[in-house]
Structure 1
Amino acid sequence: MKGMIRNISRILIGGMVILCSCAKNIEKIPLELNTIDYIFDKDDSLGVNAERYLSGIYFTVPRGFNRVGTDLLDAATDDAVSSETGSVDVYKLATGGYTAATFPSGENVWATCYAGIRKANIFINNIDIVPLKKMVEPGFPKKHAYKAEARFVRALLYFELLKRYGGIPLVGDKVGTLGDDMQLPRNTFKECVDYIVGECDHIKDSLRTMAQTRAVGEYQSVTKGACLALKSRVLLYAASPLFNGGNIESGNELTGYTNFDGNRWKLAADAAKELIDRKEYDLVPELFSDIFITVDGAEGKTNREIIFVREDGKGTGIEVINGPVGYSPGTANGRTSPTQELVDAFPMKNGMDINAEGSGYDVSDPYTNRDPRLGMSIFYNGHPWLNTSLETFEGGRSHPGTLNMETKTSYYMRKFMGAFEATNTFSDVYHDFILFRYAEVLLNFAEAQNEFSGPDADVYAALTAIRKRAGIDAGADNRYGLKTGMTKEEMRQVIRNERRIELAFEEHRFWDIRRWKVAETVVNKPLHGMSIIKSSSGRLTYTLSEVLTPVFSTRQYLYPIPYDEVVKNSNMRQNPGW
């Protein structure tokens, strides 16, 4: 009987092999007939089937663009709202309208992450059977690199669970089969952090050191840099107030550390610094918008800022879903409406806050002389697009007030899109979702270093590098608008705002306001758009308008463990408040 179960399991496992862009040929036999012995073939010196299976593991990494229903995760923050008029899943996240049994699609990741972890374990346990001799680069056998890559994806999936739920069950290398006892308890938050960081430390020297280019192939492959970037992010979250002394349930080891330890900030700073000091990555030197559409090795271009991506390839999907409405029929759907709160977070081109005395901000001309990242991240009235100027005033081409879906704020998302300001139509551009990029590592370092030792020269250097690339003026003191002699508290607010604008729409804000434990303050107040009225003479007047009031309570700092998991597992403890 056990032998029969193993055989059935092998057939089912074989059916999980995923064909993707990395596959060279169509399968010679139906996928459902594949077995472990076929995937991990002791006579396959090229490892063709094993490589295809590894590609499937890569594709268990969560997607980023418009994945919550059809909305960006950022539409559940104070940075944006959905332009949809009806009830949508992202509003359930924004207003707390979910339970352990009814959770928004796209964020209900428990089952999908554990499925990916299981696939990784199957690979890790069986890849040694395959007689791979090839090197991915001098000194790095393909077999060892591939096993390390699977362990990285597994560690990343554990982190995706950890930041949502707190401590979760760690299954090690075990691959469950029918009849196994799966009544596993949750591991503590500390045990999960230690496990993920330990995995990163164990595999980093088995990974390739150089990122692959689109031209060479294996473009999305994990590198040592990606491993160090994951470690940096995990330790940053672990050091943050929600988990480091701000536990939402005192004494509960599942929901965070039970004590504060300032040295956790140093561990996070050191992890980021290790990657910075390798000097393998850098900021894209010119246009901020180029980061997201320039693929290393494609069309002879380079992009040293990308560390790890979820590969999606070329297309116009981002433009069609999120671009401004009002052009030729069907050109775009305008799904995402950035808030006035996010627009106001961008400083002036001189680097000064718009509300600072002497900043030069003009309420009657609010988009002139702003941080160039504003125009590269957000469409506003008068912004060039498709060979014309955007009209988001009331009754304008892109805000007529008659469509089922159009901007609610007078803004649309611009980030991630191709350079179509001076063209008549969209064309295919790369839209890989960047999970790790160098600017985040600099911001991770700046935050952790500031929290540990205050705003020293290294903290200023990280921020000025980012602001310089953004196009902010250096100023007479070469501080790019940063005030000298800031306190730790002042620098903290600068760093948090810099993360907000630099990483907007990249799925950081949702988690940042939670790990900083400020969501109850940030979220529970009205969000605004700008109502723009154009007079017969062409004069524009700007008036704030409320568009949504989100809701946030303490229990929302962590997601509820899915109801089905708690019901079927007597050892599974639910999160506080759920």
Structure 2
Amino acid sequence: MTLYKIYTNKKNLSIGIALVCLVLVLLFSSCAKDYETVPLGQQSTLDLIFDVHDSAGINAIQYLNNVYNDALISGHNRVGGSNGDYIDAASDDAVSSYTGLSSVEKIAEGAYTATQTNADDIWTASYTTIRAATIFINNIDRVPLKELLPNGELARAAYRSEARFLRAWTYFELLRRYGGVPITKDSVYQLTDNIDLPRESFANTVTYIVSELSDIEDSLRPQEDVNSVNYGRITKGAAMALKAKVLLYAASPLFNGGNIDPSNPLTGYTNYDINRWKLAADAAQDVINLGTYGLVSNYADAFITQAEPIGTNTEAIFWRQNGGNTSVEQTNGPIGYTSAGGNGRTSPTENLVDAFPMSNGLPIDSAGSGYNPNDAYSNRDPRLKATVFYNGVLWLNRPVQTYDGGLDKPGGTLQQTKTGYYMRKFMGNFETVNGSPVYSNTIHDWIYLRYAGVLLDYAEAENEYQGPSNEIYNILFSIRKRAGIDPGVNMNYGLALGMNQDQMRQTIRNERRIEMAFEEQRYWDIRRWKIAADIYSQPLYGLDIQQTSQGELFYNKTIVLQPNFIAPKMYLYPIPYSEVVKNTNMKQNPGW
């Protein structure tokens, strides 16, 4: 496994030490119940990693880097293994272009059970990470680390808090998939221990995660200290933004008033409390009030520009460093550009394309929008062109051809778009080599939390708590202004003034969809909003584009996939059957 290289100025570990670390990570690979027998040499291994004579903390920091690597999984084409699919290809925003039955399509069609879990099941891997993080937390004080933070404080506390953040992040990932889960806190269990741990309630799991994040935020580095030495390390802003995200989920309909099993404390709250929305709004407001983050001027730059040197990407709050490569372009680019390569793995849907407004900010079906179905891509929200390749858009020195028989949709058995669209987001520019265009090396850090998301989190929570306000309108104006939408004579960027709460709710939800497409938002949003059953009851559409011998194009909307949602159980993943069988205290989610 490639290590998460975030601490670049430390000396590389010797091969022997690296192997010891790898053995230790493998040793700790287990879930809440299934642990390996601990060899007699474990203590000496811990003594080597958390060396009481290592004032530079080289071994311990490398161990923490490995925890980063395991906890932070890049979202780029992650589902189904290397060069797989984006999880949003299991929503209404895209389908997989894979010619067989892909793992992400199985998720969209509900083709999984407790015994045959889906490709997004993370239970065992998560508890492996939680255990490893806890070992670091419990042992880092043994290391006489002399490193100081810019404020003069010892760096040890920051490193410990980073591990606590990674543990909290992992619990959040479990929470939104399964509901309440077993919480091990600072315990590291051995095979001889009684480890038939029950699941904590949803409420207790939320409380634990939030309390951990609140406790560590002041000991983490501020964003201002991010530089080439500590690029990628967890910051105070990341802890605050994650707390806001956790509280947003906790306040959302699936868990707050819409519990799929109303009396079951494992699957959500057993009552509705509007004040949960206020907690989420206040937490997001705290991030805004830091004054540290801001929207970058160019929407596309938010995903291909690093946050170092300071000020380059003011939007990134929490991310995994992937470095420069052409992997996203090679995996998802249109297939017809032979000199550059492109496997066209992701096919955005017409459903997503239709969600983008016009450049005047009006929905395409709104009176006065100016939408012309025979010229559907003219005068659209500029984010559409930054998100999707459509027929005729210029790319690599020629127009994309997604009409039947075109260079980018030749037909046959070759993997290619199923919808008439390819994904454009996250891709960099290109260069010309020997007269042919090729993809340029591009930063593909995976951003989990960015400032635009925090703004939308605040807008949503505030609207749910007290309805539309000037602050909410101003947030939407700022996001649309950055997108390049025409402000109009009234400076309202196409938004209707005087919206009621439900109208604002739908506006915010659509803005989230188009602003954050393919960022692992839509897939989870339609679940926490408890609208997935309705969304998945609708077909997913693409375009069949025919070109006549005279070059005239005809666009025909066609069904490419009918998702399946067996409500209500699919709002949460099943606890893996193996866990339920071996742990008598482990209760399965309803319906599984």
Shorter-chain-normalised TM-score: which range? over 0.9
Corresponding residue number in structure 1 for 2:11: 24
Corresponding residue number in structure 2 for 1:3: none
Structure-to-structure mapping, 1:353-372, within 5 angstroms: 353-372=363-382
- Give the Cα–Cα distance (whole angstroms) in 2 for the partners of residues 366 and 315 of structure 1: 33
What SS class does the counterpart of residue 556 from structure 2 fall into? strand
- Give the Cα–Cα distance (whole angstroms) in 2 for the partners of residues 297 and 440 of structure 1: 20
Give, in angstroms, the shift of residue 420 of structure 1. 2.9
- Give the Cα–Cα distance (whole angstroms) in 2 for the partners of residues 524 and 17 of structure 1: 40
- Provide closer, same or farther for how the CA distance between residues 102 and 377 of structure 1 changes in structure 2, counting only shifts above 3 A: same
- Give the Cα–Cα distance (whole angstroms) in 1 for the partners of residues 4 and 258 of structure 2: 44
- Provide closer, same or farther for how the CA distance between residues 526 and 19 of structure 1 changes in structure 2, counting only shifts above 3 A: closer
Give, in angstroms, the shift of residue 216 of structure 1. 2.1
| Aligned amino acid, residue 358 of structure 1 | G
Moved more, 52-61 or 488-497: 52-61
Per-residue deviation, residues 437-456 of structure 1 (Å, max 9, x unmatched): 00000000000000001110
| Aligned amino acid, residue 98 of structure 1 | Y
Give, in angstroms, the shift of residue 318 of structure 1. 0.3
Structure-to-structure mapping, 1:110-129, within 5 angstroms: 110-129=123-142
Among 154, 158, 173, the alignment partner of 1:145 is 158
Give, in angstroms, the shift of residue 17 of structure 1. 12
1:243 has 2:255 as partner: yes
Q: Do the aligned residues in 2 keep the contact of 1:269 with 1:444 (CA within 8 Å)?
A: yes
Among 111, 121, 131, the alignment partner of 1:97 is 111
What SS class does the counterpart of residue 402 from structure 2 fall into? coil
What SS class does the counterpart of residue 437 from structure 2 fall into? coil
Give, in angstroms, the shift of residue 384 of structure 1. 1.3
Corresponding residue number in structure 2 for 1:290: 301
- Give the Cα–Cα distance (whole angstroms) in 1 for the partners of residues 440 and 77 of structure 2: 20
Q: Do the aligned residues in 2 keep the contact of 1:140 with 1:207 (CA within 8 Å)?
A: no
Corresponding residue number in structure 1 for 2:41: none
Among 61, 64, 75, the alignment partner of 1:64 is 75
Moved more, 255-264 or 41-50: 41-50
Among 77, 97, 104, the alignment partner of 2:91 is 77
Structure-to-structure mapping, 1:193-212, within 5 angstroms: 193-211=206-224
Among 155, 173, 186, the alignment partner of 1:173 is 186
- Give the Cα–Cα distance (whole angstroms) in 2 for the partners of residues 220 and 297 of structure 1: 9
Structure-to-structure mapping, 1:512-551, within 5 angstroms: 512-551=525-564
| Aligned amino acid, residue 14 of structure 2 | E
Q: Do the aligned residues in 2 keep the contact of 1:140 with 1:206 (CA within 8 Å)?
A: no
Q: Do the aligned residues in 1 keep the contact of 2:253 with 2:530 (CA within 8 Å)?
A: yes
- Give the Cα–Cα distance (whole angstroms) in 2 for the partners of residues 88 and 328 of structure 1: 25
Per-residue deviation, residues 408-452 of structure 1 (Å, max 9, x unmatched): 000000000002398710121110100110000000000000000
What SS class does the counterpart of residue 451 from structure 1 fall into? helix
- Give the Cα–Cα distance (whole angstroms) in 1 for the partners of residues 302 and 93 of structure 2: 21
- Give the Cα–Cα distance (whole angstroms) in 2 for the partners of residues 465 and 354 of structure 1: 21
| Aligned amino acid, residue 562 of structure 1 | P
Corresponding residue number in structure 2 for 1:559: 573
What SS class does the counterpart of residue 430 from structure 2 fall into? coil
- Which ranges in structure 1 are unaligned for 5 or more consecutive residues? 1-15
Q: Do the aligned residues in 2 keep the contact of 1:386 with 1:420 (CA within 8 Å)?
A: yes
- Give the Cα–Cα distance (whole angstroms) in 2 for the partners of residues 456 and 139 of structure 1: 42
What SS class does the counterpart of residue 547 from structure 1 fall into? strand
Give, in angstroms, the shift of residue 33 of structure 1. 4.4
| Aligned amino acid, residue 337 of structure 2 | Y
- Give the Cα–Cα distance (whole angstroms) in 1 for the partners of residues 490 and 544 of structure 2: 38
1:339 has 2:349 as partner: yes
| Aligned amino acid, residue 518 of structure 2 | F
1:233 has 2:245 as partner: yes
Q: What is the percentage of aligned positions where both structures have the same residue?
A: 53
- Give the Cα–Cα distance (whole angstroms) in 2 for the partners of residues 442 and 140 of structure 1: 32
TM-score, normalised to structure 1, is 0.94
What SS class does the counterpart of residue 533 from structure 1 fall into? strand
Among 521, 524, 528, the alignment partner of 1:511 is 524
Among 490, 494, 502, the alignment partner of 1:489 is 502
Corresponding residue number in structure 1 for 2:32: none
- Give the Cα–Cα distance (whole angstroms) in 2 for the partners of residues 387 and 402 of structure 1: 25
What SS class does the counterpart of residue 101 from structure 1 fall into? coil
| Aligned amino acid, residue 75 of structure 1 | A
Among 385, 409, 417, the alignment partner of 2:395 is 385
Give, in angstroms, the shift of residue 25 of structure 1. 1.3
- Give the Cα–Cα distance (whole angstroms) in 2 for the partners of residues 419 and 473 of structure 1: 25
Give, in angstroms, the shift of residue 537 of structure 1. 2.0
- Provide closer, same or farther for how the CA distance between residues 211 and 39 of structure 1 changes in structure 2, counting only shifts above 3 A: farther
| Aligned amino acid, residue 390 of structure 2 | Y
| Aligned amino acid, residue 52 of structure 1 | Q
- Give the Cα–Cα distance (whole angstroms) in 2 for the partners of residues 73 and 25 of structure 1: 35
What SS class does the counterpart of residue 135 from structure 1 fall into? coil
TM-score, normalised to structure 2, is 0.92
Give, in angstroms, the shift of residue 327 of structure 1. 1.4
Give, in angstroms, the shift of residue 168 of structure 1. 0.2
Give, in angstroms, the shift of residue 102 of structure 1. 1.0
1:472 has 2:470 as partner: no
- Give the Cα–Cα distance (whole angstroms) in 2 for the partners of residues 140 and 112 of structure 1: 34
- Provide closer, same or farther for how the CA distance between residues 375 and 433 of structure 1 changes in structure 2, counting only shifts above 3 A: same
1:52 has 2:62 as partner: yes
- Provide closer, same or farther for how the CA distance between residues 45 and 465 of structure 1 changes in structure 2, counting only shifts above 3 A: same
Give, in angstroms, the shift of residue 560 of structure 1. 0.1
Per-residue deviation, residues 222-265 of structure 1 (Å, max 9, x unmatched): 11100011001000000000000100002000000000000000
- Give the Cα–Cα distance (whole angstroms) in 2 for the partners of residues 19 and 499 of structure 1: 29
What SS class does the counterpart of residue 29 from structure 1 fall into? helix
Q: Do the aligned residues in 2 keep the contact of 1:383 with 1:389 (CA within 8 Å)?
A: yes
1:130 has 2:143 as partner: yes
Give, in angstroms, the shift of residue 211 of structure 1. 4.9
1:408 has 2:418 as partner: yes
Corresponding residue number in structure 2 for 1:322: 332
1:373 has 2:360 as partner: no
1:498 has 2:511 as partner: yes
1:453 has 2:466 as partner: yes
Give, in angstroms, the shift of residue 212 of structure 1. 5.0
- Give the Cα–Cα distance (whole angstroms) in 2 for the partners of residues 121 and 410 of structure 1: 48
Q: Do the aligned residues in 1 keep the contact of 2:13 with 2:59 (CA within 8 Å)?
A: no
